[in-house]
Structure 1
Amino acid sequence: MTPTDAGAPALSAPTERSGEDTLELRVPTELLALLAEADLLDSPATWGSATTPAGRFELAPVRLDRDLALPTRWMNDPAVAAFWHLTGSHQVTAAHVRAQLEGDGRSIPCLGLLDGTPMSYWEVYRADLDPLARHYPARPHDTGLHLLIGEAADRGRGLGAVLLRAAADLVLDNRPRCTRVVAEPDVRNTASVSAFLSSGFRLSAELDLPDKRAALMVRERALRTLL
């Protein structure tokens, strides 16, 4: 998604993988069956809320029958579309979200609520089980974040950094096996990179992914109280 401070639109947009998704990792059938029964992300719906300077923040898993209109509108904002590449009708957004909802639980799409109002779109994913893991030394249970801030009025005023810190804290509070939260914004998305840096992430490396050069951003549990 975006940000320079907190504001930019799309804080850590996912890589367009040209058909390459998590299933392309060639996981053995037996392991896929186990994954399908596992709670790979420790149920984000139960994580509760975080108190931030901007208000009470929480993640609510997307329900297509209820929530589709908002992310569809946001994806068609040019500032968001430049990094998410999901412009088009509600069917385009629905296909992107449904692939996660009907998958094995390695990625969960959520709306970010601030004081109960949906204002951002998130994807919480298992980075160690994602194609991203081919490009960096992943650790078990590394958890990734993608984020876009929906409304232009919420961008450019530091909100992205506030929300990223809150979301990373929710991950670390509720996923005890996770030692790192990671993200991979486009290096050209300076607003996004800046927001991650301001929220306690560090720039670990630059990665050549299939469709972009990405900044690998990492927030370590061990350094959580220091950054």
Structure 2
Amino acid sequence: MPPTDASTDAGTAPFSIADSDTGPGADSEDTLDLRLPDDFLAFFAEEAEAAPAARGAAERGEENGTAQGMARPALATPTGDDLLDRVGDWGPTATSVGVFQLVPVRIDRDLPLISRWMNDPAVAAFWELSGPETATEDHLRAQLGGDGRSAPCLGVLDGTPMSYWEIYRADLDPLARHYPARLHDTGIHLLIGGVANRGRGLGTTLLRAVSDLVLDRRASSARVIAEPDLRNTPSVSAFLSAGFRFSAEVDLPDKRAALMVRDRALRDLL
């Protein structure tokens, strides 16, 4: 499980959102077992049939605690055949620091930039993906060639790729063995590029924006989950400032983590 980290190197390569591609990498070899059990697939089918009623309740503010008269953006329709409700279709969102968008990674375009970020010493200490580009490529292909439970994305701010994100199904991740997971829990891993982007609240702003996107676009998800390394104090602080609450300390195979949770019901209070 990669860490959730809010520090790394800058990326200023030219980028066009029109060039994004959500398809899996061709001829990829999975490094993880990303096949869903049959009983999970059957359960998701039942959930999809019940989704319209749940969406209606959410849009009326019955799930998210929205104050009367304060409308939230319309919630997207769960597709049933996409475990993360098509992250690539979530679109841009306005923030106090500019227009931000999650753009699904395309290996032929994005690998050099992401690999360079992973080789920043401050990042390598937590992500452990430093070395040749093949290390990062294998990590990306394991997700792109899987069943869709994890979506690697570039974070593009005002047209410039400046961060790397993984939006994933926490309830289907090995993380679920270490905390009381709920169906459709959505997890976030984050790596922000650029020394100039560190220490000025950018991570907090984008974490709040992305977790809002999750709650707005995934009607079935009541919580956003993160598990930054406890040693990564700036990352833990950024999550707290972004409306997440500290839930517990958890011992994971590769780290001792702070389990951070942002609840739909508390999103307007924290």
Verify same fold: TM over 0.5: yes
1:70 aligns with 2:113: yes
Aligned match of 2:262: 219
Q: Which residue of 2 aligns with 1:28?
A: 37
- More strand as a share of residues: 1
Q: Which has the higher contact order (CA 8 A, sep 6+)?
A: 1
Quote the residue 1:194 is aligned against: 237
Deviation of 1:2 (Å): 3.0
- Write out the 4+ residue segments of structure 1 that deviate beyond 6 Å after TM superposition: 32-35
Q: 2:170 aligns with which of 105, 127, 136?
A: 127
Q: CA deviation at 1:217?
A: 0.3
Q: What is the TM-score normalised by the length of structure 2?
A: 0.74
Contact 1:185–1:214 (CA under 8 A) maintained in structure 2: yes
| Alignment correspondent of 1:54 | 97
Map 1:60-209 to 2 at 5 A: 60-209=103-252
1: distance between equivalents of 2:38 and 2:215? 30
Aligned counterparts of 1:79 and 1:209: Cα–Cα separation in 2 = 21
Q: Which residue of 1 aligns with 2:86?
A: 43
- Backbone CA RMSD of aligned residues: 2.2
Letter in 1 for 2:268: T
Gaps of 5+ in 1: 11-18
Check the 8 A contact 1:186/1:215 in 2, yes or no.
yes
Q: Given that residues 245 and 260 in structure 2 are in contact (C-alpha distance below 8 angstroms), is that contact kept between their aligned partners in structure 1?
A: yes
Write the letter of the residue equivalent to 2:5. T
Report the TM-score, using the length of structure 1 for normalisation.
Answer: 0.87
- Separation of aligned partners in 2, 1:175 and 1:133: 19
Could you tell me which runs of 5 or more consecutive residues in structure 2 were left unpaired when the two chains were aligned. 10-29, 45-79
Q: Check whether the contact 2:8–2:195 (CA below 8 A) recurs between aligned residues.
A: yes
1:183–1:218 contact (8 Å) kept in structure 2: yes
Which amino acid counterpart does residue 180 of structure 1 have in structure 2? R
Report % sequence identity: 67
Distance 1:125 1:223 in 2: 21
Per the TM alignment, residue 116 of structure 1 is displaced from its structure 2 partner at its CA by 1.3
